[in-house]
Amino acid sequence: MFVRSIVADAFGTNCYVVAPEEGEECVLVDPGFGVVERVREVLAQHRLRPAAVLLTHGHLDHVYSVTPVCGGTTAAYIHGDDAYRLKDPVSLLTAPVRLALEQQFGRVSTWTEPERVVHVRDREVLELAGLQVEIAHAPGHTEGSVLFSLPALPHGLASDELDRTVLSGDVLFAGSIGRTDLPGGDHAAMERSLRDVVMPLADSSLVLPGHGPATTMARERRTNPYLLAL
């Protein structure tokens, strides 16, 4: 499976380009701040055609570039419980976050909702761009946070210990989890998601998080303090 990561200009959000092979259709995951031109460069260099944009949740740092990336023809896929965030995620920013963005970028752009939005459901399996993507609803960071699981590994990562890839958004990081103190966050819901959704993931899962380095479920099960505390 072809996978490229692009780190956004703000908050270190990981945007992923995923395809079965070069020269085919692809999906884009979580296009954040300042990634549009780099996404286009990756698409051109590897002859990829976007078939869908997948959003692990609706926070602005994960969806900021969704509308220009979709371009009016490609659909954005998001869980129904977070779909309201695509109406105007800028208005949902806390004052300190808005100030920090204005200091970095001068002014946060006005928002235009993507023309085509598809609501995904828990345990739904999407067939997109020749990829099989399973949805797991894992609320806590936001109401509609999800994991995307694919039964394949990135090229160049041959391993007897890994056999699938999980795009975990802001639910699970290497050594940590997503915060629950922002609007729509719920610590009790996050604990349930960690127990009922994350912990059952196979140790053979490569985890590509919304921020920070890749990890594995086996490593997180052994070392992540939030999982050890369950």
The predicted-structure confidence for 128-176, as pLDDT tens digits, reads as follows 999 999 999 999 999 999 999 999 999 988 788 999 999 999 999 999 9
The predicted-structure confidence for 207-218, as pLDDT tens digits, reads as follows 999 999 999 999
Output the pTM of the full model.
0.94
pLDDT of 108 over the 80 cut: no
E-assigned strands of the chain?
A: 2-7, 14-19, 25-29, 49-54, 76-79, 117-120, 125-128, 131-137, 146-150, 164-169, 172-173, 176-177, 205-209, 215-216
The predicted-structure confidence for 58-97, as pLDDT tens digits, reads as follows 999 999 999 999 998 999 999 999 999 999 887 777 777 7
- Give Cα 145 to chain centroid, integer Å: 9
Mean pLDDT value across residues 37-49: 98
pLDDT of 5 over the 90 cut: yes
Instruction: State residue 37's pLDDT score.
Output: 96
Identity of the amino acid at 151: P
pLDDT of 106 over the 70 cut: no
